[in-house]
Structure 1
Amino acid sequence: MKNILHIISSARGEQSYSSQLSSAILEKLLQQGNINTVTVRDLVKDAPPYADEMSIHEFYKHPELYDEQSRQLLSYANLIVDEVRKADIIIIGTPVFNLGISTPLKAWLDQLIRAGITYVFDEQGNRVGRFTGKKVYLAVASGGRRTEGAPDYISAYLRDVFRSYAGITDVETYHIEGTMENGFTADYESVLKDFNPVNDIS
């Protein structure tokens, strides 16, 4: 039985194409069965705190040096780390903002990724992710369309963050594009026609 974490990061609420696409991915997984729990974290309704002068020092501390102030300032960070740790499958919906991810999603990542927590360094100084064996689905919505050969900044960025700083290498992206075009109609079944289900997660 698998646990799913569903991340919503668009401010458009029910009108969000990225949220609807990520929900369609969730539905595909639920149809397969073998799902234990689904945890939904809406980063707009419950916005991640931004690092400030006090909290930024805690992020760079080694976990062995955490004290009571650390626990207070890192309470949100510890909560979302625990959610990711427990999840077998992570679904992330994000719109494209100026070739980047949504602001709440960036803040969530900044709270999540920490040395000694999501990654450590081995004896050779190599970075080693600690959250291996998980699957990430990205649901990306954009108002325009990428031209042929144009880089996919969203997928590349998130794939590198999860691989390099969490050890998650299985990241799959589904796009819905052209949402600002006149007469646009979302066809999520078409976007997910080649959907790859999770068969086994070690």
Structure 2
Amino acid sequence: MKNILHIISSARGDQSYSQGLSTAIVNRLLQRGNINKVIVRNLVKQAPPCADEISIHEFYKHPEAYDDQSKQLLSYADMIVDEMREADVIVMGTPMFNLGISTPLKMWLDQLIRAGVTYVFDEHWTRAGQFKGKKVYLAVASGGRSIDGTPDYISDYIKDVFRSYTGITDIETYRIEGTMEKGFEADYESILKDF
């Protein structure tokens, strides 16, 4: 039995196309069966804290150096790390904001990625991710349409961060594009026809 972590990061709520697509992916996974539970982490309704002058130092400490203040300042970060550890499948939805991921998703990543927690260094100072073997489905919504040869800033970024700092390499991207076009209607089934 598998656990799914569903990450929602659009401020548009029920009108969000990235949320609609990520929810359609979760529903497909549920239809397949063998799912134990789904944890939903809505990064807009429960926004990740921003790093500040005090907390930023905690992110660069080795876990062996944590004290009571560390535990307090890293309580959100520890919670989302535990959710990632428990998940077998991560479904992430994000709109494209100025060619990048949503602000809440970036804040979530900044809380998640930590030396000694999501990755460690071996004796040769090579990074080794600690979350290998997990599957990520990325649902991206954009108002315009991509053109052949245009860099894929979102999925390339997510793949690089996860590969380098968590060890997750199995990432599949689904897109819903042209959402700002007049008369646009979402067709999630067509997008996921080869799912």
For normalisation by structure 2, the TM-score amounts to 0.99
Aligned to 1:119: 119
> How far off is 1:151 after superposition?
1.2
Aligned to 1:156: 156
Identity %: 76
Question: What is the SS of the residue equivalent to 2:48?
Answer: coil
CA-atom RMSD in angstroms: 0.4
Amino acid at match of 2:113: I
> How far off is 1:12 after superposition?
0.1
Q: How many residues are matched? A: 195
Amino acid at match of 1:51: A
Runs of 4+ in structure 1 over 2 Å off: none
Aligned to 1:180: 180
CA distance in 2, matches of 1:101, 1:95: 6
Cα distance per residue 1:36-70 (max 9 Å; x no partner):
01000000000000000000000000000000000
CA distance in 2, matches of 1:135, 1:123: 28
CA distance in 1, matches of 2:184, 2:149: 23
CA distance in 2, matches of 1:58, 1:169: 27
Aligned to 1:54: 54
- Indicate whether 1:11 and 2:11 are aligned: yes
Aligned to 1:87: 87
Stretches of structure 2 that go unaligned for 5 or more consecutive residues are none
- Indicate whether 1:44 and 2:44 are aligned: yes
> How far off is 1:148 after superposition?
1.3
> How far off is 1:149 after superposition?
1.4
CA distance in 1, matches of 2:92, 2:166: 15
CA distance in 2, matches of 1:78, 1:177: 34
Aligned to 2:69: 69
Question: What is the SS of the residue equivalent to 1:24?
Answer: helix
